[in-house]
Structure 1
């Protein structure tokens, strides 16, 4: 995580370019300039949040990236060569330049994805190997206000976890990245949602569920997502959801959570020297309180009670 404040104009461009190399400040009023930055970088994914006090015009043209952004400011303007965007909503930059300007102060927040990795993940989510991230499938504006509002909520959730200053496990990071990407594509790509619906498989042989279960039991301690499980079971994520509901009356992620709770339970039963929070993180639970609630539901006692009993 990177966090700092500055009153130097050059710091803004230098920092932004670590995440989006094309970022540029074109017009800045230095008299009121102030800059407060927080960011977190994972593999193939970055989360950026900053406050910029100044009248500014800026531009980006992502190369090999996809960026979803929201500029919260009175009188803000956002536009592309194809036309103006609604500055009161999140927007997405993929192909071609996007410019923004505002006066006095803006709160800027953004998800930045490696384009190739995001495309691979989108194909796993949809089960469509031909799905591609391009202007024909991903728009600059959100599908509607409900999706825009949901994107904002998910940003706050991911930011609150990654900016908390608490180390996160690879499992948690993989889930957060997938959540951010799924939400972004759902908000900006009708084609993505259509592909998800099209990939739903209404019949699934029991062996598909057995393959998924075997994979989860073997890899529960790793940073796997439902996309990885579906790939191992040779079925789409939507099809896997349906198959699990039909066969086990639960979702694949509920089953995976059970396996991870079992792994955490085994660790709590031996004196490893690790704290409850550390064990929870290791098994993919970002929130210790949520882990404790799931653990009590499964084992009828708190994690600390289990730890103290051994």
Structure 2
């Protein structure tokens, strides 16, 4: 969704579609201008907007996890917990956060469905007791804030209006956004990662995981799906692969997809190199070419007829 409006009555309902708790207060209608862009990424929404107005905005999400960054020269952001800083991302799973600015601001935000995110994190940790909560509002460090901003810029540049992404790529992008966010901020996910990982049954589990990868590498599966198929947590699968094969499950899945792309290139089925790369989950052509060259000591080219 992408639009520009000067109508306050149109803007707030649109905003509430994605952040139901959001409200606009003390808006100057004579200076109001709203440039909105939002993209769906599975159960996650990536949104960016420029709001030219004197504004007091308020949000208090219920069934969502909201990560937001407000860039404005005079932005003030606060909650009852602490004073935040304009230009630095913050996270809330229910704590009320207010923001004000006088002239205009650019806002970047990612909205996670809380139930979906919690299910994904339980799979990663192998702990069904994990309840997803933000235990602080600010990133761990300036470096974490910078990483989150870089991740958002990458998503914003990748999710082009009107251009459909391969489901495999979309699922990986959604997982990347969730994992980087969870490790950049203080959450219960960080606590769960510090607990001992599951380590039993590695050889049989690794075999099940490899068989699942071989059968499904052409589909939009993630490492969480592989772990579930092997009846393990994602952390347990990581440990089992390291112990048994000295590689990560991600490396195994990447090799399987490279093998699939290699077979398709040799088959000369009429598809271009870029199409074959996307089919196997490689959205960046230069990275695909580098990985292919490393694996097969040659560039990814179609055989001559």
TM-score in terms of structure 2 length: 0.92
In the alignment, what sits opposite 2:71? 72
- Helix, strand or coil: the match of 1:151? helix
In the alignment, what sits opposite 1:102? 101
Alpha-carbon separation, structure 2, partners of 1:166 and 1:117 = 24
Deviation of residue 258 (structure 1)?
0.8
In the alignment, what sits opposite 2:124? 125
In the alignment, what sits opposite 1:213? 210
Pair 1:309-2:304 in alignment = yes
Tell me whether 54-63 or 270-279 shows the greater mean CA deviation. 270-279
In the alignment, what sits opposite 1:20? 19
- The 5 A counterparts of 1:82-231 are 82-134=81-133, 137-163=134-160, 166-201=163-198, 205-231=202-228
Cα pair 1:78 1:100 within 8 Å, conserved: yes
Cα pair 2:39 2:161 within 8 Å, conserved: no
Pair 1:232-2:229 in alignment = yes
Correspondence for 2:294 among 268, 287, 297: 297
Per-residue CA deviation, residues 211-247 of structure 1 (Å, 9 max, x unaligned), is 2111111111111111121222233322322322232
In the alignment, what sits opposite 2:2? 3
Deviation of residue 125 (structure 1)?
1.3
- Helix, strand or coil: the match of 2:251? helix
Cα pair 1:39 1:163 within 8 Å, conserved: no
Q: Which runs of 5+ in 1 are unaligned?
A: none
TM-score in terms of structure 1 length: 0.90
Deviation of residue 10 (structure 1)?
3.0
Alpha-carbon separation, structure 2, partners of 1:11 and 1:308 = 55
- Helix, strand or coil: the match of 1:179? helix
Q: Which runs of 5+ in 2 are unaligned?
A: none
In the alignment, what sits opposite 1:248? 245
Instruction: Tell me the number of residue pairs that the alignment of Structure 1 and Structure 2 aligns.
Output: 305
Alpha-carbon separation, structure 1, partners of 2:272 and 2:153 = 27
- Helix, strand or coil: the match of 1:141? strand
Alpha-carbon separation, structure 2, partners of 1:122 and 1:246 = 23
Deviation of residue 290 (structure 1)?
1.2
Per-residue CA deviation, residues 70-89 of structure 1 (Å, 9 max, x unaligned), is 11111212222334323342
Alpha-carbon separation, structure 1, partners of 2:83 and 2:119 = 30
Cα pair 1:74 1:103 within 8 Å, conserved: no
Alpha-carbon separation, structure 1, partners of 2:240 and 2:161 = 37
Deviation of residue 204 (structure 1)?
5.5
